[in-house]
């Protein structure tokens, strides 16, 4: 039967990860996959996570089934973390999902049931998995203008003009914060303009919140989502705990659905649970239980927040150090934008040839669109990267 198939494309981010692993040059610099790393290049388990796991192992009494929506305490805590009361509880439903990707899959599948003829609009550019995921759900996918490669800022007027032209058959996928791959984000005023546009046109928002706490702080990163929630009656949001709890392989995310009223929220929720049951029955519990334990315990929660804050501040100082190091070598402000961007990534705007050159000559790895993971940097690596970039772009 498989003779009917041809080889499917690989995810370019995972392909690069394999390429880096196969390079044995000492001192290679890995700025590829979006995984947080410390100065030594490790992705450690957060202390609060370790403590929560120990508590779970010593006190849990059963591994019986938990239910289609997963861990209820987790889902409630995730709704609070994202929305902080911006929508009355009776209009919000949430299901634990296997990662932010799982949450996106649940929500896209739900939206397909609700409006099979809709078009999904993603930013140009966007996370490489957004388009294939929306296509796999059966949607037509289009892109709205987002990143201006000259200014390395959001091309806001063009973005808004495109959004203004959409209507009730359109779903707009917005990055909640820390835009992947560009690092360029909407400011408050721009969020309000986007929200007003969505309200006017009736286009449906799908917010992807994969990096809450990695940009300007847990609450600040949710500014746009909460502002949207205050204005728009119906929307969905996929959140992920992979990055902000560092539990990537545990696969923890949450699919959040907001309805116009409690009755519609109930109907949407019943469809969501129905489609989950038909796919994987219920999500795995362990990672979600870790998050629940942390978020419900004042002491562990404070410890987690402090650790997350330290990770966030380190990424910001890496950004500043890289911008400074390039400026001091090139005598130009061309890369100052790196310090203005937020989150784990910046799109440097280098040519593919330059990216290839850095890989071949300097063992510096970034995605072929020149996205770098700023968490992959550290003092000595920052200086070497600045040398390499200035050398290659002179």
Q: What is the largest CA-CA distance in the chain?
A: 63
- Among residues 183, 246, 253, 349, the one that binds ligand PLP under rule CB under 6 A: 253
Q: Of residues 113-152, which lie at the interface with ligand TYF (CB under 6 A)?
A: 127, 129
Residues identified as active-site: 127, 208, 210, 243
Distance from C-alpha of 53 to C-alpha of 243, rounded to nearest angstrom: 17
The nearest distance, CB 54 to ligand TYF, in angstroms, is 28
Q: Measured from the CB atom, is 33 or 174 closer to ligand TYF? A: 33
Placement of tokens 């902000």 in the chain: 244
The nearest distance, CB 104 to ligand TYF, in angstroms, is 10
Q: Measured from the CB atom, is 33 or 321 closer to ligand TYF? A: 33
- Angle 298-330/47-59 helices, nearest 10 degrees? 150
Q: Of residues 157-176, which lie at the interface with ligand PLP (CB under 6 A)?
A: 175
Which one of 76-84, 97-105, 287-295, 311-319 is the stretch in contact with ligand PLP (CB under 6 A)? 97-105
The nearest distance, CB 16 to ligand TYF, in angstroms, is 9
The nearest distance, CB 211 to ligand PLP, in angstroms, is 7
Of 281, 259, 241, give the one whose Cα is nearest residue 48: 241
The residue sitting closest to ligand TYF, measured at its beta carbon, is 34
Distance from C-alpha of 128 to C-alpha of 137, rounded to nearest angstrom: 15
Q: Measured from the CB atom, is 242 or 370 closer to ligand PLP? A: 242
Coil, helix or strand for 55? Answer: helix
The nearest distance, CB 365 to ligand TYF, in angstroms, is 12
Whether residue 354 contacts residue 393, with contact meaning beta carbons closer than 8 Å, is answered with yes
Could you say whether residue 34 binds ligand TYF (CB under 6 A)? yes
Whether residue 209 contacts residue 374, with contact meaning beta carbons closer than 8 Å, is answered with no
Coil, helix or strand for 138? Answer: coil
Selection from ligand PLP, ligand TYF, none that 33 binds (CB < 5 to 8 A by kind) is: ligand TYF
Helix ranges (DSSP H) in the chain: 12-21, 47-59, 72-83, 99-114, 130-136, 156-164, 188-201, 218-221, 223-231, 262-277, 286-296, 298-330, 337-340, 352-362, 379-393
Q: Measured from the CB atom, is 175 or 341 closer to ligand PLP? A: 175
Could you say whether residue 19 binds ligand TYF (CB under 6 A)? no
Selection from ligand TYF, ligand PLP, none that 264 binds (CB < 5 to 8 A by kind) is: none
Burial 232-271 (b: 16+ CB within 10 A, else e): bebbbbbbbbbbbbbbbebbbbbbbbbbeeeebbeebbee
Selection from ligand PLP, ligand TYF, none that 13 binds (CB < 5 to 8 A by kind) is: ligand TYF
Distance between alpha carbon 229 and the CA centroid of its chain, in Å?
Answer: 19
The nearest distance, CB 310 to ligand PLP, in angstroms, is 21
Selection from ligand PLP, ligand TYF, none that 100 binds (CB < 5 to 8 A by kind) is: ligand PLP
Residue 64 is given by DSSP the state -
- Among residues 71, 96, 180, 393, the one that binds ligand TYF under rule CB under 6 A: 180
Could you say whether residue 210 binds ligand PLP (CB under 6 A)? yes
Whether residue 31 contacts residue 372, with contact meaning beta carbons closer than 8 Å, is answered with yes
Q: Which residues bind ligand TYF (CB under 6 A)?
A: 11, 13, 33-34, 127, 129, 180
């Amino acid at each position: 039967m498989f003779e009917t198939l041809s080889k499917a494309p690989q995810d370019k981010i995972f392909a690069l990860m394999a390429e880096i692993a196969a390079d044995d040059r000492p001192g290679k610099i890995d700025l590829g996959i979006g995984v947080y790393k410390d100065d030594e290049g490790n992705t450690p388990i957060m202390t609060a996570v370790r403590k929560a796991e120990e508590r779970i192992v010593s006190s849990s009494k059963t591994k019986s089934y938990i239910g289609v929506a997963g861990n209820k305490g987790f889902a409630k805590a995730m709704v609070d973390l994202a929305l902080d009361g911006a929508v009355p509880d009776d209009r919000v439903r949430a299901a634990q999902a296997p990662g932010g990707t799982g949450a996106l899959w649940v929500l896209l599948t739900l939206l397909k049931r609700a409006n099979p003829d809709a078009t999904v609009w993603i930013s140009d550019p966007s996370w490489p998995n957004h388009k294939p995921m929306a296509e796999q759900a059966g949607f037509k996918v289009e892109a709205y203008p987002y990143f201006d490669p000259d200014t390395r800022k959001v091309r806001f007027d063009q973005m808004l003009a495109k959004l203004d032209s959409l209507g009730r058959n359109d779903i707009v996928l917005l990055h909640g914060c820390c835009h992947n791959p560009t690092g360029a984000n909407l400011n408050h005023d721009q969020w309000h303009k986007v929200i007003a546009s969505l309200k006017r046109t009736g286009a449906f928002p799908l917010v992807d919140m994969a990096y809450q706490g990695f940009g300007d702080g847990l609450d600040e990163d949710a500014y746009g989502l909460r502002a949207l929630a205050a204005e728009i009656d119906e929307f969905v949001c996929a959140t992920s705990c992979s990055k902000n709890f560092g539990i990537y392989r545990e696969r923890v995310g949450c699919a959040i659905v907001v309805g116009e009223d409690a009755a519609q929220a109930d109907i949407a929720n019943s469809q969501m649970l129905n489609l989950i049951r038909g796919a994987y029955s219920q999500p795995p519990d362990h990672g979600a239980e870790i998050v629940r334990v942390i978020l419900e315990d004042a002491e562990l929660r404070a410890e987690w927040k402090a650790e997350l804050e330290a990770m966030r501040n380190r990424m910001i100082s890496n950004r500043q150090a890289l911008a400074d190091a390039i400026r001091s070598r090139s005598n130009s402000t061309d890369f100052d934008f790196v310090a203005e961007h937020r989150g784990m990534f910046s799109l440097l705007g280098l040519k593919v040839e330059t990216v290839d050159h850095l890989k071949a000559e300097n063992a510096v790895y970034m995605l072929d669109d020149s996205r770098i993971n700023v968490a992959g940097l550290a003092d000595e690596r920052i200086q070497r990267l600045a040398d390499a970039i200035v050398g290659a772009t002179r």
